Every structure is written in structure tokens, then in C-alpha cells.
Amino acid sequence: MSALVECRGLTRVYHKGDQEIRPLDELDLDVDEGTFTALMGPSGSGKTTLLNLVAGIDRATSGTLRVEGVELGALSNTELARWRAHTIGYVFQLYHLVPVLTAYENVELPLLLRDDTRRERHRKVAAALELVGLADRHDHFPRQLSGGQEQRVALARAIVTDPRIIVADEPTGDLDAAAADAILDLLGALRRELGKTLLMVTHDPRAAAHADRVIHLEKGRIVAAAAATS
Amino acid sequence: MKLLPWDYGVRNLLRAPGRTALGAGGVALVTALLVTAAAFVRGMNGSLAETGGLRNVILLGAGSEDSVERSEVKAGVAGIVAASVPGIEERLGVPYVSPEINVALVVNVDGQERQASFRGVTDAAYLVHPQVRIVEGRAPRAGELLVGRFAAARLDVPDERLAVGRSVDIDGRPWTIAGRFEAPGTVLDAEIWCDAQELRVATRRETLSGIVLTLADDAQTDDLDLFTKQRLDLELVALPERGYYARLHDFLAPVRAMVWTTALLVAGAALLGGIDTMHASFAARIRELATLRALGFANGAIALSLVQEALLTAALGALVGAACVLPLDGLAVRVSMGAFGLRVDGTALALGLGAACGVGLLGSLPAAWRCLRMELVAALRAD
Ligand SMILES: Nc1ncnc2c1ncn2[C@@H]1O[C@H](COP(=O)(O)OP(=O)(O)OP(=O)(O)O)[C@@H](O)[C@H]1O
Ligand SMILES: [Mg+2]
């Protein structure tokens, strides 16, 4: 059986003036369904770039990327947008909450792209906020939340659509140890109980320990891959 | 296409109330200007289009079809016409035949010399010009004047200066104002009326300018045409009164063109400014817009929400702008040929409001497009 995510010779090149930046360089990577993979590496090593490609919000310069058997490079922008709305939950490194919307409305946003009724949406949003421990913060605007709470709203927004793949860019970066553990336990449970496939960027070895596999990136290449010890 | 919640746009307007107020203020100015321009043109056009009675015919001296002020008709002709042309309206045996003298005279108001349009009339004038309503005082007798409601504007003097009981000098002789009239939406509003006989004496002229008559309901102009052809000795030409004023309308085409050009230039400048303002406002939210795209919202849905924001702002500004110029309705405006009232009517308002929404739409679309065509990951990283 082939992997859920299949990267072959994946390369991303940015041009800044006449300078060429290559955050991903001929990367080969397979991620199996129902696994929890941690991505580590120094700043600028291409972790976010890889997540963006897998999540379908960026396009590779060369190489192929197949997710669920779909060749992402072959989709039009509109098809890609629809695909990611149904397949991917993304926890952004900088949360990217919409400031004029409440926590509840932020989490509801991706559901508006589906055919859920208002009631179904309410049930799902309430459940997601409950899962991240923010059941009492429905009506708070992002500016009324702490950094850690914002991060948890971002996680709730990523899981509310029940996506097959969750990508998270340092989802515990702004949390204290206890809150971070709660989130990592939640991610672990999503994998164990619901069979989600998780791809998480982290700088924190303790967070990486929750994953089944840790991949180290450096200058856009994999330098080491190991099964996690825990 | 799945849309963003309607109130997302509204909340964004409230997020930066200063910017919203500024944008709406700009639109308000443009709307006020456009409505005023439209009210000006409509007032001017309307006064010319509605002056002539539908069944009125004006008899002028042959060769003076373009200007009643240059026309000369012998004094006795009115009686001949009344007696020999069939099909003229009458009431209680009085035929609707009004001999008139139209002349531009210099009036001395407190030492200031001013040009005014005079119409020397008889009692029949009130029959053939039913729009004229004396609103104060009475019809003029010897040495008296009846002034239209915009006559003061035409003379460029304050309205009170032409109040009933005051007087002005013509040719060194004082004339007292006996009454005031209004004839809404017509050029008559800017005129000064007096007795035709008196005016002939004062201007030392032998002739009339023309004769205005009203035909009976079913009458045709054929009889009149026949009359003017049979009585070549009278040297008359018959024109429908509406047609006469419609010709004046053509002479004013350059004035209208100038008004519209100015209004369009200002609206165009406002549009360019609007595109810039809206782009700045959208660009400030570039990361947020990118987030919506990343979540899977189509560019079209996001653009629609941005356009909705702009249209709301524009509509708000347009209402304020329109409300500000509403009181200008009926305000007297002086132009070289006379004076008329601004006409802030439904058409003028619709034009201003429509143009404002056009500015909102045309201004926001390119701004939205510039923000949304940016590469998604680059927009997500923007600060
Ligand atoms: N849109 C872009 N345009 C230009 N350069 C980019 C763009 N996105 C990423 N880069 C560059 O690519 C390199 C890798 O960026 P990336 O965000 O993937 O790093 P990262 O591993 O996530 O780092 P960090 O741990 O700091 O988040 C960096 O040098 C970055 O400046
Ligand atoms: Mg990163």
C-alpha cells in the first residue's frame, strides 16, 4: 500500500531579486496514514515550506507531491482550494485568527465552506472548543485571548472539519508545559482514536517525543529520520 | 461558491472607523457634487422644456424666429388675430390672445445697474400662462412691477430688495413692486412683468415683440399657418411655444457640457483616490485575507466581501452627501440668460447615488484584485 503523503524530489525555489533561495531541495518523504510525524530543524531549514506544500497552499517548483493519491501539482487553484478545505486542517505558526471574528466564529469559518446546517456547525464548533479547553471562551475576540489561548483556537479551527490530515506549525510554541502537554495529548488521541495523520513542526524535543517519527531537516534536506523513543 | 458571513464586512468597517468615515466623507462630497450638477442641468432643462404651454403658439415677426427679444409685431395685430383666427381658446368671451413685449432692460437698484428680463403684458397673459400664480400683492398697474421669484437672483440682489412696496429705477423713473409671482419650473420665474402699454411708452417702441395664444383643445395649427400665409402683410411666423423654448435649450448645450465635464472629472479623480484608499485598507489586512484563502475560500467570495464593504461605505457616504444637498432644491441660480431653480429631484438623487455606488464598485474591484492575486504563501508571511 502506498503512503498517504508521497514526496519525490520535492523542490521549492524562491527568488528574492537575483538571489535564489531553495528552502526545499530534492526532498523524498513518505508519510503513512494514521501516523504522527514531527519535523525538526534549525530556523530557515524549510519546515514551514514543506507543510505549506503538503497542505496545498503552496506549489512545488519541481518534483512530485501526491496526497491521498492526488497529484497536487495537477490541480487548478480552485480545485486545490476545495481539496484543502476538505482534507487538511492547518494550525499556522502565527495562528492567523481573523481579528473581527470571535473564537466561535473563527472556528466556524472552515465549516462555512461545507454544507453543514447551522445546528451541525454549532455542535461541531462547541465540541472543538471543548476539546482544546476553551468551552468558556466562545464570545472572546482574539485580542481578548492570551497567546496560548489563540493557539488553541487555531487548533480547534484546524480540527473542526474532521480533516484526514492535520498539519501544525509549532502548535505548542506559546504554551506552558502543562498546556502544551494537554495539546500534545489531544493530538496523540486524534491519531490513536480517530486515525488522523499528523505532521507537526516543533523545536521542542519534549513535544517531538509525542510523535511516532521525528524527521530532521537542514537546508531543505532530510538529515536524519528516526522512530521516536517514547 | 461558499460566501463569507455578511457581517464580516460590516465588522471590518467598524474595525477602522476613522478610515471608514474618511472614505464615506469622500463619497459624500462626490455625491453632493454630482447631485448638484444634475440638479443644475435638470433645473435648466426643465425650465426651458416646461415654459411653453402644450397648446400655446407664439406669433413672432418673420425672420426673428430665434429671439423673441429681436422680434417686432405691429401693435394692432393681436386684435386682428383674435377676430380672424378660428379655434382659439376663450373663456367668458375673452380670447386667449396675449400681446407681449419681451425686452432686456437696465434696472437701477440703489445705484447699481443690472440687466433684467421684462415682459410687458395685458390681462390675457395670465390666461395663456396658467403656471403664473401671483403669490403676494396684485397684478401691476401704471408704474408698477410684478416680479418673479427668481428675479432677484437674476438681478443679483437679495430677495428682500424686490419685496412688495419697494421700488427700482428704470431710465431714471421709479417703479414700485406691486406683487410677486411664481411659475415653478419655467423661465418666467426670473422675469419682471409690467403693463405692456407702460412698457411700450417707457422703451419708446411702437411694436410688440410677439403674441402668445392658446388653441382650443381640438384645434390644429393649420388655421394659424393659413392665416400667416394669407396675411403676408403682417409678416408673422407661428411657432409652437414649446418648440421656441426647446431651441433655446440647444443654445445652452455648451453650458451643460461644461457642467457635466467638470462633474465627471471630479468623479474620476475621486475614483482614482478611492482605488488607492481601498487598496491601502485591504493591503493592511493582507495576511487575514490570505488566511481565508488558505482555509479554502474562493478569491471570488473574498472579493465579494471586500466589494460589499466598499459598497456599504459608498452607500453611507452617498446618503450623507445627498442629504446635505437636499435643501438646495429650488435654490435660485443665475446664468447669463436668466435664472432658474436647482431641481434636486428623484432623477438627480438617483444619479448621484448610482454614481457613488459605481465609485465603490469600480474602486474596490481593482484594489481587491491586487491583494488577492498575490502569491498565497507570500501573503501569509506579509506583515
Ligand atoms: N514566500 C517566500 N519568499 C521568499 N523566501 C521565502 C518564502 N518563504 C520562505 N522563504 C525562505 O525560505 C527559507 C525557509 O523558510 P521556512 O519558513 O520554510 O523555514 P522554517 O524551517 O519554517 O523556519 P522557522 O523555524 O524559523 O519557522 C527561509 O530562508 C525563508 O526566508
Ligand atoms: Mg516556520
CATH code of residue A33 = 3.40.50.300
Residue of A nearest to B15 (CA): A100
What's the CA dihedral at A69, A75, A80, A83 to 10 degrees? -30
Residue ranges in chain A modelled with pLDDT below 50: 230
Contacts of B273 (CB under 8 A, 6+ apart): B26
What's the gap in Å between the CA of B6 and the closest CA on chain A?
12
The arrangement of strands across the sheet holding A88-91 comes to: A88-91, A165-169, A197-201, A36-40, A213-218, A221-227
- Check CB contact under 8 Å for B11 and A92: no
Phi, psi at B323, each rounded to 5°: -65, -35
Pocket test for ligand 1, best of A13, A45, A91, A96 (most atoms within 8 A of CB): A45
Instruction: Going residue by residue through chain B, which has 383 residues, state the pLDDT in tens, using 9 for 90 and above.
Output: 888 988 888 888 888 888 889 889 988 988 998 899 999 988 888 888 777 778 899 999 988 877 888 888 988 888 998 888 888 998 888 999 999 999 999 999 998 999 899 999 999 999 999 999 999 999 999 999 999 999 999 898 999 999 999 999 998 899 999 999 999 888 899 999 999 999 999 899 889 999 999 998 766 777 888 888 888 888 898 888 888 888 777 778 888 899 889 888 988 888 888 788 888 888 888 999 999 999 999 999 999 999 999 999 999 999 999 999 999 988 888 776 677 889 999 999 998 888 888 888 888 898 899 889 999 999 998 87
What residues in A contact B293, CB-CB < 8 Å?
57, 81
Residue showing cell 392665416: B227
Phi, psi at A20, each rounded to 5°: -115, 125
pLDDT of residue A21: 92
Per the DSSP assignment, residues forming a β-bridge with B73 are: B208
- Check CB contact under 8 Å for A96 and B287: yes
pLDDT of residue B232: 86
Shortest-distance atom of ligand 1 to CA A16 = 4
- Check CB contact under 8 Å for B297 and A57: no
What is d(CA B96, CA B128) in angstroms, rounded to the nearest whole number? 6
pLDDT of residue A49: 96
Contact A155, A91 (CB under 8 A): yes
Pocket test for ligand 1, best of A10, A18, A21, A53 (most atoms within 8 A of CB): A21
Span A109-137, pLDDT tens digits: 999 999 999 999 999 999 999 999 999 99
What is d(CA A91, CA A100) in angstroms, rounded to the nearest whole number? 19
The number of angstroms, rounded, from the C-alpha of B190 to the middle of its chain's C-alpha atoms is 13
pLDDT of residue B224: 82
Nearest to B288 among A49, A57, A98 (CB): A98
- Check CB contact under 8 Å for B296 and A84: yes
Span A199-210, pLDDT tens digits: 999 999 999 999
Give ligand 1 pocket residues (Cβ under 6 A).
A 14, 16, 21, 23, 41, 43-49, 93; B 377-378, 381
The arrangement of strands across the sheet holding A5-16 comes to: A19-31, A5-16, A62-67, A70-71
- Check CB contact under 8 Å for B294 and A90: yes
What is d(CA A114, CA A120) in angstroms, rounded to the nearest whole number? 11
What's the gap in Å between the CA of B354 and the closest CA on chain A?
30
What's the gap in Å between the CA of A177 and the closest CA on chain B?
28
The DSSP line for B282-316 is HHTTHHHHHHHHHHT--HHHHHHHHHHHHHHHHHH
Nearest ligand to residue A27 Cα: 1
> What is the CA(A144)–ligand 2 centre distance, in A?
25
What residues in A contact B292, CB-CB < 8 Å?
98, 109
- Looking at chain A, the whole-number percentage of residues with pLDDT higher than 70 is 97
pLDDT of residue A124: 97
User: Which of B8, B10, B291 should one mutate to test binding to chain A, selecting the residue with the greatest count of A CBs within 10 A?
Assistant: B291
- Check CB contact under 8 Å for B296 and A98: no
pLDDT of residue B2: 86
Burial class (CB in 10 A: 0-12, 13-18, 19+), B237: middle
Between chain A and chain B, how many beta carbons pairs sit less than 8 Å apart?
62
What is d(CA B98, CA A97) in angstroms, rounded to the nearest whole number? 80
> What is the CA(A66)–ligand 2 centre distance, in A?
22
The count of other CB atoms within 10 Å of the CB of residue A16 is 7
pLDDT of residue A230: 45
- Ramachandran area for residue A195 (φ above 0: left; ψ -120 to 50: alpha; else beta): left
- Check CB contact under 8 Å for B297 and A100: no
The number of angstroms, rounded, from the C-alpha of A176 to the middle of its chain's C-alpha atoms is 20
Count of domains for chain A: 1
- Check CB contact under 8 Å for B377 and A84: no
Q: Is B262 helix (H, G, I), strand (E, B) or coil?
A: helix
pTM over 0.80: no
> What is the CA(A8)–ligand 1 centre distance, in A?
20
Shortest-distance atom of ligand 1 to CA A52 = 18
What is d(CA B356, CA B315) in angstroms, rounded to the nearest whole number? 7
What is d(CA A13, CA A128) in angstroms, rounded to the nearest whole number? 36
What residues in A contact B380, CB-CB < 8 Å?
57, 92, 96
Domain hosting A10: range is: 5-227
Contact B23, B274 (CB under 8 A): yes
What is d(CA B110, CA B106) in angstroms, rounded to the nearest whole number? 13
What residues in B contact A78, CB-CB < 8 Å?
298
Of B321, B363, B327, B348, the closest CA to residue B259 belongs to B348
**Residues, chain A:** 230
What is d(CA B316, CA B312) in angstroms, rounded to the nearest whole number? 6
Nearest to B288 among A49, A55, A99 (CB): A99
What is d(CA B233, CA B211) in angstroms, rounded to the nearest whole number? 16
> What is the CA(B72)–ligand 2 centre distance, in A?
93
Q: Is B227 helix (H, G, I), strand (E, B) or coil?
A: helix
